[in-house]
Amino acid sequence: MTDAESTVPASAVPEASATPAKPEVRSTAKRRRGRAGWIVAVVFAVFYAFDIFEALSNLVGVLQAYSDAGVALPTPALLTIIGQIAAPVVVFVLALWGTRRARSGSAVLVFLVGFAVVAVITLDLQSVFRSLVGF
């Protein structure tokens, strides 16, 4: 390198100004669930409510069958039915919270996956119930 190449012209060097550079202003507005997002949430709330209704009807039917037979329902079996009631509620609340800033298409996918998870949990708890009760 020669001296001519290593020297930088004065016009190429930025001058220090008295005012500091302003940082980039980011939008602080949070994205919120729109009308379509709430419609998706309400439609899936109906599907999750069907699963809750199914678990409640199982609870009522099993309690009635055991009381007609004069036998107490085992506590672990009762806990599996309560788990069947609680699973859709917990998963729906998590899906609703997780999609609060998501677009409608993404929210549909999250609610569908959550509904599939509820189905798996419900079937698992039903098989545990049948192994505990034996009929």
> Token pair for residue 30?
């949070």
Task: Give the residue from 75, 85, 65 showing the smallest Cα distance to 132.
Answer: 75
pLDDT of residue 127: 92
Give how far Cα 72 sits from Cα of 35, 57, 129, 135, Å.
Answer: 48, 18, 15, 14
CA distance 29 to 61: 50
pLDDT of residue 29: 56
Judged against a pLDDT cut of 70, whether residue 43 lies above it is answered with yes
Query: What count of Cα atoms within 13 Å lies in the side-chain half-sphere of residue 34?
Result: 8
Instruction: Please answer whether residues 42 and 49 qualify as being in contact, where contact means their C-beta atoms are separated by less than 8 angstroms.
Output: no
Helix residue ranges, H only, the chain: 3-6, 35-69, 75-98, 104-133
- 3-class secondary-structure state, position 134: coil
Task: Give the residue from 83, 75, 77 showing the smallest Cα distance to 56.
Answer: 83
User: Can you say whether residue 14 is alpha, beta or left, with left for phi > 0 and alpha for psi between -120 and 50 degrees?
Assistant: beta
Question: Domain limits of the chain?
Answer: 32-133
pLDDT band at 10 (very low <50, low <70, confident <90, very high): low
| Percent above pLDDT 90 for the chain | 61
Judged against a pLDDT cut of 70, whether residue 55 lies above it is answered with yes
**pTM to 2 decimal places:** 0.72
pLDDT band at 34 (very low <50, low <70, confident <90, very high): confident
Judged against a pLDDT cut of 60, whether residue 25 lies above it is answered with no
